[in-house]
Amino acid sequence: MVIQDRDLKSIQDVRILVQKAKQAQLLLKKKTQEEIDKIVKGMSEVAYKESDRLAKMAAEETGFGVYEDKIIKNKFASRGVYNNIKDMKTIGIINHDTEKKIMDIATPVGVIAGLIPSTNPTSTTIYKALIAIKSGNAIVFSPHPSALNAIQETTRILAEKAVELGAPEGIISCMSIPTMEGTDVLMKHDDVALILATGGSAMVKAAYSSGTPALGVGPGNVPAFIERTADIPLAVKRVLDSKTFDNGTICASEQAIVTEDCIKHQVKAELIKQGAYILQGEEVNKVGRVIQDEKARFNPKIAGRSAMDIAKMADIEVPEGTRVLVAEQRHVGKEYPFSREKLSPLLALYSEEDWEKACDKCIELLEYGGLGHTLAIHSNNEDIIMEFALRKPASRILVNTPSALGAIGSTTNLDASLTLGCGAVGGSATSDNVNPLNLINIRRLACGVKEAEDVLEEYDELNKPEQNNSSLKDIVVDEQLLDHIAKLIMTKL
């Protein structure tokens, strides 16, 4: 009976929050771009100022990750995201083509349901609040229960600053009683226009099956290919910097290194030199049993934990200060725990005969659990880099950069984002680094440039025999030219 009451309270809480959010959004959408930008700037500044405190709350409440890295993530989510979006036109007329006589008018979608994970709770809340307000929307957060206090506090400081700068009350809010039933009602509410989902596969699938338009992200099972022309010490440094950042809780962090047989010994030596421990014999199986159970279900207790902590869980001894645990692997699938997404400083190490076979192994890893997400390549061979870009089922191909930081736009010029679309191949409605432009509808005003009879005359002209013959000849020539160009391009690749 107590559980049932909690569910009912959660549902009632959601209904009240959505009602207030709808009323607030009707007022917010009347504001100018300048007024909106002032609010967003203030929110960014207060979030940046509170980055340290919020990071500490998240680390203490969830037990995940590295406190110092969470500070960096909060600062990225506030200042990094703000710098990326501050000059975007998102309100009113955003484009006017005077030649074609077409005008693009941005309109907010309305109330957004923002689902927040426990792995990146405060940074994701900051980021989603900023892009929602920047695009003229209201947002209601569904927090992960294990990070409730940190997410609520982040919501509070952002909402207070927004209201102080002219936003209406209720424009940013958070569920106080997070339950599956309450979140389900939030996602299916008639007044919720869009779901912005970041989290596990089950939650993202629930968002897409809710009947409400959704932008969700799938899991990342990111392979990092170290090719023979790479600067091996630097490539390994980048991988380990990325894999240990916040103990691997960013979904774009590397899950496997794929290299070539001719440099495998150099890669292994460099991994050991830089603090990785190569598991031997039964150690691989012991850690594997900690990663997942006999039914291949992921063990959430290892998420965001250090390599030393995981070694203790697996009852193995590793050198003090070990940064990452590495297991050499040959195969991919449920029977091979290291081949999956691990959300912790654990890496699989594969080696193949040449780059073509390494390419196939990367695809196999993506197909197992990271379709459409991210792939990293460390190489100085432009032809091979281009081949990977053309062949890989990933939305982000990152070259010579730490994957976790490159994918979110920290060490690259990709849009600064903490929600990374995986495209249709990965079950996502977008392949973008989600930003304010994904949270608006565009209304197009188009002026007439010809009358109906003019259109008919044009069609009649095209139907004349001499015109048809001329067109057919042109098409043949064009096809021959295009075929020639295509062959030249393929030769270059």
- Considering only CA atoms, which of 198, 247, 238 is closest in space to residue 220? 198
Distance CA 337, CA 141 (A): 33
Other CB atoms within 10 Å distance of the CB of residue 386? 13
Distance CA 163, CA 52 (A): 23
Strand segments (E) across 269-371:
276-278, 324-328, 346-352
Give whole-number Cα distances, 331 to 33, 350, 352, 368, in Å. Answer: 53, 9, 11, 11
DSSP character at residue 415? P
Q: How far is CA 243 from the centre of its chain?
A: 16
Distance CA 14, CA 183 (A): 8
CB 108 within 8 Å of CB 29? yes
CB 310 within 8 Å of CB 283? no
Q: Which residues contact 440 (CB under 8 A, 6 or more apart)?
A: 90, 106, 107, 108, 109, 135, 136
Strand segments (E) across 109-209:
111-116, 138-143, 172-174, 192-197
CB 148 within 8 Å of CB 117? no
Q: Of residues 251, 359, 362, 422, which has the active-site annotation?
A: 251
Give whole-number Cα distances, 474 to 443, 466, 483, 484, in Å. Answer: 37, 12, 14, 15
Beta partners for residue 465, in sequence order = none
Q: Please say if 422 is a catalytic residue.
A: no
Q: How far is CA 200 from the centre of its chain?
A: 12
Pairing mode of beta strands 111-116, 102-108: unpaired
Q: How far is CA 406 from the centre of its chain?
A: 11
In 334-445, which residue ranges form alpha helices assigned H by DSSP?
Answer: 355-369, 382-391, 403-407
DSSP character at residue 199? S
DSSP character at residue 429? S
CB 329 within 8 Å of CB 350? yes
- Catalytic positions, written as ranges: 251
